[in-house]
Amino acid sequence: MDLWFSERHTPNVKFSIRVDRQLYCGQSEFQRIDVFESKEFGRFLTLDGYMMLTEKDEFIYHEMITHVPMAVHPTVRKVLVIGAGDGGVIRELTRYPSIDHIDLVEIDPLVLEVCRKYLPQTSCRLDDERVHIRFEDGLKYIRTRENEYDLIIVDSTDPFGPGEGLFTKEFYGNCFKALRDDGIMVNQHESPFYEEDAAAMQRAHKRIVDSFPISRVYQAHIPTYPSGHWLFGFASKQYHPVHDLQAVTWNLLGLSTRYYTTRLHTGAFALPAYVEELLRDVE
Amino acid sequence: MDLWFSERHTPNVKFSIRVDRQLYCGQSEFQRIDVFESKEFGRFLTLDGYMMLTEKDEFIYHEMITHVPMAVHPTVRKVLVIGAGDGGVIRELTRYPSIDHIDLVEIDPLVLEVCRKYLPQTSCRLDDERVHIRFEDGLKYIRTRENEYDLIIVDSTDPFGPGEGLFTKEFYGNCFKALRDDGIMVNQHESPFYEEDAAAMQRAHKRIVDSFPISRVYQAHIPTYPSGHWLFGFASKQYHPVHDLQAVTWNLLGLSTRYYTTRLHTGAFALPAYVEELLRDVE
């Protein structure tokens, strides 16, 4: 079967995956949702035609957005996750016995339903009793919260479409307010490589820097995202992502990981010169 | 113009670049050589249809294969570069006043000729008086050298076709012999992500580990190579790539770089857990 899914990473760059078959295709109030089966990447989820995750490399994204803050903050108990209807972040968070409450705020119920059915690899822990699912717009939900969370993970789509509001100054300011005095916010931060992604990354960084006293960016290799060079933002009221890393404590938890290590944690904050410059330009 | 260059990263994954026009197409004794002009990446060079370099991201590869060993070895004077007919490694090496002799051994004269004409961005320093170009098979050249070089950079193509011999145990053993007592060899080490590349990476690593007392692997984000996650091998008789990093000395040189920094140097050796495991399996 010669069936290919393609995504334009820019108008002039295309990444294509050979597909065995389409498992699901649907349209929600917010977006088009597709799930495909492929030989190279296993199953993969797209929203409005944009790659969200593949079974082969989702561990990289989910480990890096979860374990980096968890290895810095010594006592995370209450977590807010925005977006993330696929459940990958929840799967990683529920591995920590110290966490006793997770609010998952996802705007689109159909994403969750589709992932429960077709992507058990990521959605497998959505029924954990500590997880409280709310189908709401994260932008609105966060407005009313105050001094409540130890950690907020913003697992948004791109800064256009349904995820747009999750890249605004108002949203980051409200996240700051919703966090406790030693809270941390982590978000997916786009890529530095292609021009348009880099501009989105700079805009987001500027707004976070304006809202949080500590704001650092870290990177990972995510082969199915544009350029494969992906960034995350670490914003914090008190803890420094590298100086306050609790490496011994985290390793004593005995969590087995495939990408994250506490050594890589520190390395991930060492950015290429051109990325440092892009960030400095807006700080 | 809807003209696309595509490379199969695996039989099931394709990376495509929109092309403005083909600048050159030729066949040498060894391989097919093409140069294209594109909006997204500027000019790019392919050998037998495989991406070698683009003007947009070649700085990453060339900085990382050159400055990492140069920032560790305090007194590199004589260097051997194998492959690298595009001149990118030479451009970076000639920035060091301490280097007084560079042997460039390239098997294919036509690659050099084409790069001189169409890729001045990388070939610009091939006429430096310290550079001695030899059109020979690197595998044969190295057999006769002994205790001669401070640094050998193996800028090979992939481990099939003309570059195949540059991934053998015999070759690495001869590199060891050709190096001085505190010499370093650096090579491009393929990618850990797709199965076939990972196997090639493991084979190369095993052979290097067998030949050198110190052998470490480091990584970079190279968007136009398969998966974007590329590895380099650092093999050495004496210097450790991280513990012996001469950060202050290197920074005093005042070289301006776009990817490499001495902070990133250390970070680049912090590999993902699954890559560490792949390497450990063959150590």
pLDDT per residue over A136-150, tens digit each? 999 999 999 999 999
Cβ pair B40:A270 closer than 8 A: no
- Is a pLDDT exceeding 80 seen at residue A158? no
Q: Work out the mean pLDDT of chain A and round it to a whole number.
A: 96
Instruction: Count other C-beta atoms under 10 Å from residue A165's C-beta.
Output: 16
Phi/psi of residue A278, nearest 5 degrees: -60, -40
Catalytic residue among A100, A155, A181, A197: A155
* Residues in chain A within 8 Å Cβ distance of B229: 221, 223, 228
Distance, in Å, from the CA atom of A61 to the CA atom of A66, rounded to the nearest integer, reads 9
pLDDT score, position A41: 98
Do B178 and B234 fall into the same domain?
yes
Do A24 and A143 fall into the same domain?
no
pLDDT range class, residue A45, cuts 50, 70, 90: very high
Give B279→chain A minimum CA distance, Å: 13
Task: Kindly state the helix (H) or strand (E) to which residue B45 belongs, with its residue range.
Answer: strand B42-47
Cβ pair B10:A40 closer than 8 A: yes
Structure tokens at B93: 């090496």
Domain edge (last residue) among B54, B72, B88: B54
Do B76 and B24 fall into the same domain?
no
CATH of the domain at A252: 3.40.50.150
Mutate to test the interface with B, among A12, A218, A227 (most CBs of B within 10 A): A12
- Averaged in consecutive runs of 10 residues, what is the pLDDT profile of chain B (283 residues)? 96 98 97 98 97 98 98 96 95 98 97 98 98 95 97 88 82 97 96 95 94 97 97 98 98 97 98 98 93
Q: Output the known binding site of B for S-methyl-5'-thioadenosine.
A: 31, 106, 137-138, 162
Do A191 and A238 fall into the same domain?
yes
Interface size, chain A vs chain B, as Cβ–Cβ contacts under 8 Å? 122
Cβ pair B267:A272 closer than 8 A: no
Do B135 and B179 fall into the same domain?
yes
Number of structural domains, chain A?
Answer: 2
pLDDT score, position B1: 86
Residues 6+ apart with CB under 8 A from B277: none
In angstroms, what CA-CA distances link A28 with A160, A179, A203? Answer: 17, 31, 29
- Is a pLDDT exceeding 80 seen at residue A162? no
Do A160 and A257 fall into the same domain?
yes
Do B38 and B163 fall into the same domain?
no
Cβ pair A12:B38 closer than 8 A: yes
Which residues face B156 on adjacent strands? none
Do A19 and A49 fall into the same domain?
yes
The more confidently predicted of residues A156 and B185 is B185
Give A4→chain B minimum CA distance, Å: 9
Nearest CB among B12, B15, B40 relative to A40 is that of B12
Give B276→chain A minimum CA distance, Å: 9
Do A157 and A227 fall into the same domain?
yes
Do B142 and B197 fall into the same domain?
yes
- Residues of A at the B interface, defined by Cβ within 8 angstroms: 4, 6, 10-18, 38-40, 57, 60, 193-194, 219, 221, 223, 227-229, 257-261, 263-264, 266-274, 276
- Is a pLDDT exceeding 90 seen at residue A15? yes
Cβ pair B12:A260 closer than 8 A: no
pLDDT score, position B74: 81
- Active-site residue, B155 included: yes
C-alpha atoms less than 13 angstroms from C-alpha of B204 in its C-beta half-sphere: 30
Q: Is the ipTM of this complex over 0.90?
A: yes
Give A167→chain B minimum CA distance, Å: 25
Distance, in Å, from the CA atom of B283 to the CA atom of B271, rounded to the nearest integer, reads 15
pLDDT score, position A10: 97
Cβ pair B274:A263 closer than 8 A: no
Q: Output the known binding site of B for spermidine.
A: 62, 86, 155-158
Do A23 and A111 fall into the same domain?
no
pLDDT range class, residue A164, cuts 50, 70, 90: confident
Average pLDDT for A230-256 = 97
Do A98 and A42 fall into the same domain?
no
Catalytic residue among B57, B103, B150, B155: B155
Mutate to test the interface with B, among A6, A16, A57 (most CBs of B within 10 A): A16
Sheet containing strand A131-135, edge to edge, reads A131-135, A101-106, A78-83, A149-155, A179-188, A229-236, A214-221
Judged by phi (left if over 0) then psi (alpha if -120 to 50, else beta), residue A190 lies in left
Sheet containing strand A3-10, edge to edge, reads A3-10, A13-19, B13-19, B3-10
Domain containing residue A180: 58-280
Average pLDDT for A254-280 = 98
In angstroms, what CA-CA distances link B274 with A55, A223, B215, B277? Answer: 15, 14, 18, 5
pLDDT score, position A155: 93
CATH of the domain at A36: 2.30.140.10
Give A6→chain B minimum CA distance, Å: 9
Domain edge (last residue) among B15, B36, B54: B54
- Is a pLDDT exceeding 90 seen at residue A273? yes
Distance, in Å, from the CA atom of B36 to the CA atom of B26, rounded to the nearest integer, reads 12
Nearest CB among B17, B228, B261 relative to A273 is that of B261
Cβ pair B223:A219 closer than 8 A: no
Cβ pair A12:B40 closer than 8 A: yes
